Amino acid sequence: MTHGTHTHDQIPEAALAWHRDGHGSVLATVVETWGSAPRQAGSQLAISGKGEMMGSVSGGCVEGAVVTEALEALQDRQPRLLTFGVSDDTAFAVGLACGGTIRVLVEPVGEGDKALPEALLADLVAARAAHEPVAIMTRTDRWQRKLVFPGEDAATDARFRSDRAGMEEDGRFIAVHNPPLRLVVVGAVHTAKPLLTIARACGYAPTLIDPRDAFGSAARFPGETILGDWPDEALASLNPDGRTAIVTLTHDPKLDDPALAIALRSPAFYVGALGSKKTHAKRVERLTAVGFTPAEVARIHAPVGLDIGARTPAEIAVSIMAQITQTLRQ
């Protein structure tokens, strides 16, 4: 069973589908926020010509005004940049009262020389489906848009790393679409439970791998995605990408080593392994013996987690998640 909150939101996908169904669709995107705006830049809301909605740009009353503008945009085929500030009645209702302002880009999909082209939206949806990082760069002064991939533009690359959409000083709005963050935990041990919980709170979609039925049971881990295959097969089937963190917790070389062998040859941004310094020294010997280079083996964070003196399973989970966060953000 997977939890819907951290599967990729399907907002661009909904906008494309509604447009192709002939109902018409509009994509609204938060471009800038100041003060206490409840949704960050890059947050999106799709609106169909039938008034269906998916996503949100504020979590409240600004939505009503955005939908009204969206339906007008469907008629006149013109994009618009809306500003909601503290002077609006709507702003107080939506919790912008302590100095919050948001700017929202509203774009009709399809026909119109200033509209969001269907082909561009389709290419965005395809990149997202392939788990490729992609961004849409929009010049709101000329209504020019293009897709940007990693390595093509320095400002966009910085936004891929920080995972933040926003306006550049030169007036370009860059909306980043990174693949979802994933955490794969090998070993259904005590520490796994708080680790999966904390990871989910941090925005990761977690998966637990353990071929031992007594350990990886739904009764012990209710509601979690559990794979009972051998760790290397299970991990390979998940196809780890540059937004995946992998942690082995079993202490058992028969389970940990095959998983690490896959992890070290994957683009995963974090690989960690539970165990003492002595345990890890033996692990390094085993991996070196089967052909892993010193540079590959050096990718393993072991003993796993930041050294915060953690003792309990929950504290160890905090130290691991802190180290994963540090690796992702720094």
Backbone angles phi, psi at 92, to 5 degrees: -65, -40
List, in order, residues 6 or more apart from 283 with CB less than 8 Å away.
Answer: 253, 256, 257, 260, 273, 275, 300, 302
| Whether the predicted pLDDT of 224 surpasses 70 | yes
* Averaged pLDDT for residues 83-93: 62
Backbone angles phi, psi at 86, to 5 degrees: -65, -20
Domains of the chain: 4-177 (no CATH), 181-329 (3.40.50.720)
Backbone angles phi, psi at 329, to 5 degrees: -90, -30
Query: 216 with 193: CB under 8 angstroms?
Result: no
pLDDT tens string 235-270? 999 999 889 999 999 989 999 999 999 999 999 999
Question: What confidence tier does 3 reach under pLDDT thresholds 50, 70, 90?
Answer: very low
User: What is the CB neighbour count within 10 angstroms for residue 238?
Assistant: 18
Report the residue count for the chain. Answer: 330
| Whether the predicted pLDDT of 37 surpasses 60 | yes
List, in order, residues 6 or more apart from 28 with CB less than 8 Å away.
Answer: 44, 45, 46, 47, 57, 66, 70, 104, 105, 106, 107
| Whether the predicted pLDDT of 309 surpasses 90 | yes
Question: What confidence tier does 99 reach under pLDDT thresholds 50, 70, 90?
Answer: low
Q: What is the pLDDT of residue 90?
A: 56
Strand duo 270-273 + 244-248: pairing:
parallel
Q: What is the pLDDT of residue 281?
A: 97
| Whether the predicted pLDDT of 94 surpasses 60 | no
Q: Supply the pTM of this predicted model.
A: 0.73
Average pLDDT, the chain: 91
Q: What is the pLDDT of residue 127?
A: 95
Query: 259 with 248: CB under 8 angstroms?
Result: yes
Residues of the chain with pLDDT > 70, as a percent, come to 92
Give the C-alpha separation, 47 to 14, whole Å: 9
